């Protein structure tokens, strides 16, 4: 096993190399940099890319990547982990979904532009590593008061031209080992969701999934992180990068009908169901939240479960302020979901 060079950055066999990648100089004179970790195993093998925090309020993936790097035994690792756990430090600093300096959504700007707006410049630093990797896991998730927990495979999967690539994407999503997966159409026009990092990777003919894993709720944080860390090791084991067999749940579901439900009105959001309902089901018509006018305090909107058997993939689980059209719930219909039964520990 020899030294490896990835987009100009090197690592020796058995080394965890860390670099600060320059992006640009800010108006304040401060240097904007992105982190790069290269974990180069002592044995040859594939390259897995791990990325998080393109949205500054979705930080669970950062902790997952940190723990994966800490737990990886480089003597056992066959191949290389390419990790960029903080893609958008500007949005992270402000705890915003989009970049405050230009209001761009970083996950709509890949592959970026090294002479563009600052978000495009950050994306242009990240995207070349897709040329160097064999597969990608990109973390997204919820912020304060939110809980989200499922694997997102290729949106608009019917548009993937090669069946073999689609099979690889779906297989990777299943091996990640979460109970629920979704690979259908986006919540709006496909053009509105263009420019994601996973789409860019897939356009290069390589598998990529989104780990929609995150919470601003302390009661769920430890479980969400540990499950997601296990998911990375599942993928590495399946790719031949790490010893052992993937650990999968007894039953998994590929949901095919999904609703991204947002309030029509702004105000104060009061959940009727709590965070314990993440990945659980309720009947159609179940009252799940109300919106109150912040001035009169009266209820101005009710939100109810839309499907005969509604499962929650994303929950706004705390009393919070909401704007019209804010994220509230991602719910799926279990009546047309595809079921997978696994052997214990398989």
Select from 345, 281, 270, 274 the least CA-distant residue to 311. 281
* Numbered ranges of CATH 3.40.630.10 in the chain: 4-248
Contact 246, 336 (CB under 8 A): no
**pLDDT band at residue 156, thresholds of 50, 70 and 90?**
very low
pLDDT higher than threshold 60 for residue 321 = yes
E strand or H helix that includes residue 296: none
Using omega within 30 degrees of 0 as the cis cutoff, is the peptide bond preceding 111 cis? yes
Residues 6+ apart with CB under 8 A from 75: 14, 41, 42
pLDDT tens sequence across 278-319: 999 999 999 999 999 999 999 999 999 999 999 999 999 999
Residues 6+ apart with CB under 8 A from 209: 136, 137, 138, 151, 152, 153, 169, 172, 173, 176, 198
Contact 312, 276 (CB under 8 A): no
**Over the chain, what is the mean pLDDT?**
94
Select from 256, 260, 242 the least CA-distant residue to 77. 242
pLDDT tens sequence across 227-272: 999 999 999 999 999 999 999 999 999 999 999 999 999 999 999 9
A 10 A CB-CB count for 55 gives 25
Per DSSP, 216 falls in state B
Q: Homologous superfamily of 4-248 in CATH?
A: Zn peptidases (3.40.630.10)
Position 343 scores a pLDDT of 81
Q: How many helices (H) and strands (E) does the chain have?
A: 6, 20
pLDDT tens sequence across 75-116: 999 999 999 999 999 999 999 999 999 999 999 999 999 999
The pair phi, psi for residue 122, each rounded to 5°, is -65, -45
Region 165-194: what's the mean pLDDT? Answer: 91
E strand or H helix that includes residue 227: helix 218-238
Position 25 scores a pLDDT of 97
**pLDDT band at residue 162, thresholds of 50, 70 and 90?**
low
Per DSSP, 175 falls in state H
Give the largest CA-CA distance in the chain.
69
The structure's pTM equals 0.95
* Numbered ranges of CATH 2.40.50.100 in the chain: 258-341
Q: 341 is written with which tokens? A: 């039964």
Q: 252 is written with which tokens? A: 């998994």
Region 130-143: what's the mean pLDDT? Answer: 94
Position 198 scores a pLDDT of 96
Position 140 scores a pLDDT of 96
CATH class of segment(s) 258-341: mainly beta
Per DSSP, 127 falls in state G
Position 163 scores a pLDDT of 75
CA distance 203 to 200: 5
Contact 275, 219 (CB under 8 A): yes
A 10 A CB-CB count for 246 gives 20
**pLDDT band at residue 346, thresholds of 50, 70 and 90?**
low
CA distance 330 to 261: 6
pLDDT higher than threshold 70 for residue 158 = no
SS3 at position 152:
strand
Q: How far is CA 134 from the centre of its chain?
A: 18
Position 154 scores a pLDDT of 73
């Amino acid at each position: 096993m020899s030294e490896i060079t990835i987009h100009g950055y090197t690592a020796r066999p058995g080394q965890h190399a860390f670099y600060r990648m320059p992006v640009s100089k800010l108006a304040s004179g401060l240097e904007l940099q992105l982190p790069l970790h290269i974990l180069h195993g002592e044995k040859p093998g594939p390259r897995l890319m791990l990325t998080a925090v393109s949205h500054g309020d979705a930080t669970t993936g950062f902790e997952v990547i940190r723990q994966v790097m800490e737990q990886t035994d480089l003597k056992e690792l066959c191949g290389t982990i390419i990790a960029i756990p903080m893609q958008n430090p500007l949005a992270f600093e402000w705890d915003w979904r989009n970049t405050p300096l230009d209001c761009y959504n970083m996950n709509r700007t890949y592959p970026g532009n090294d002479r563009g707006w600052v978000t495009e410049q950050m994306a242009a630093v990240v995207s070349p590593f897709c040329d160097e990797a064999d597969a990608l896991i990109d973390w997204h998730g919820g912020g304060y008061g939110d809980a989200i927990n499922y694997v997102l495979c290729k949106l608009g999967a019917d548009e993937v031209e090669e069946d073999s690539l689609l099979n690889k994407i779906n297989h990777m999503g299943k091996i990640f080992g979460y109970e629920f997966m979704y690979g259908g159409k986006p919540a709006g026009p496909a053009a509105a969701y263009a420019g994601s990092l996973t789409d860019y990777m897939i356009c290069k003919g390589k598998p990529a999934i989104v780990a929609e894993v995150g919470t601003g709720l302390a009661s769920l944080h430890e479980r969400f992180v540990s499950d997601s860390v296990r998911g990375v090791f599942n993928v590495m084991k399946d790719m031949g990068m790490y010893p052992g067999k993937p650990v999968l749940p007894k039953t998994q579901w590929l949901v095919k009908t999904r609703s991204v439900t947002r309030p029509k009105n702004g105000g104060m959001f009061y959940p009727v169901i709590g965070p314990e309902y993440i990945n659980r089901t309720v009947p159609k018509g179940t009252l799940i939240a109300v919106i109150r006018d912040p001035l009169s305090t009266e209820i101005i909107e009710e939100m109810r479960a839309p499907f005969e058997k509604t499962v929650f993939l994303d929950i706004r689980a705390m009393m919070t302020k909401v704007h019209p059209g804010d994220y509230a719930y991602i719910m799926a219909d279990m009546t047309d979901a595809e079921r997978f039964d696994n052997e214990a520990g398989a």
